[in-house]
Amino acid sequence: MSVRIVIGSDHGGLELKDAVKAYLLERGIAAQDLGTNNLDSVDYPDFGEKVARAVAASAETLGILICGTGIGMSIVANKFPGVRAALVTDDFMARMAKEHNNANIVVLGGRVVTPEQGCAMVAAWLDASFEGGRHQQRLDKIARIEREVAGSRS
């Protein structure tokens, strides 16, 4: 399976996004940048939605989201069925996000971590593999909850 990576940030995450994109290119991965591309103040939900929508639409797409703290982007992304966005603050959390939660979006805080730390977290997440087993049972429960909540809103 060929994996596609989409990346997005608000103005608070732009510097870290640029560093992560450069790191990915060093690894031979060209991420599709969904914005923003300058330091003008923007609304993080606009970019979180773009990335989460792309990830929700394709099992072969992974996402990286960055805002000032990562909190806002996490909230937005996790509104989409099938998205498992994990806000991480160190390499261990990034690895566990994939191994235990099969996170398909990793979220970083541009004002919380350095570019070096952010790139290391992205590496840990990308290099980890989902363990399945008991963890899949838990993800199945999350998917059931998503379906039930969506059905109750109809």
Residue 57: pLDDT band by 50, 70, 90 thresholds? Answer: very high
Q: Where do the domains of the chain lie, and which CATH numbers do they carry?
A: 4-153 (3.40.1400.10)
- In the sheet with 61-67, reading across from the earlier edge strand, the strands are 32-33, 4-9, 61-67, 105-109, 85-87
Render 57-104 in DSSP notation, one character per residue.
H-TTEEEEEEESSSHHHHHHHTTSTT--EEE-SSHHHHHHHHHTT--S
pLDDT one-digit tens code per residue, 101-154: 999 999 999 999 999 999 999 999 999 999 999 999 999 999 999 989 887 776
Of the chain, the percentage scoring pLDDT greater than 90 comes to 93
The pLDDT, as a whole number, for residue 152 is: 78
The pLDDT, as a whole number, for residue 34 is: 98
Neighbours of 100 (CB within 10 A): 16
Neighbours of 50 (CB within 10 A): 18
Catalytic residues, which ones? 67, 100
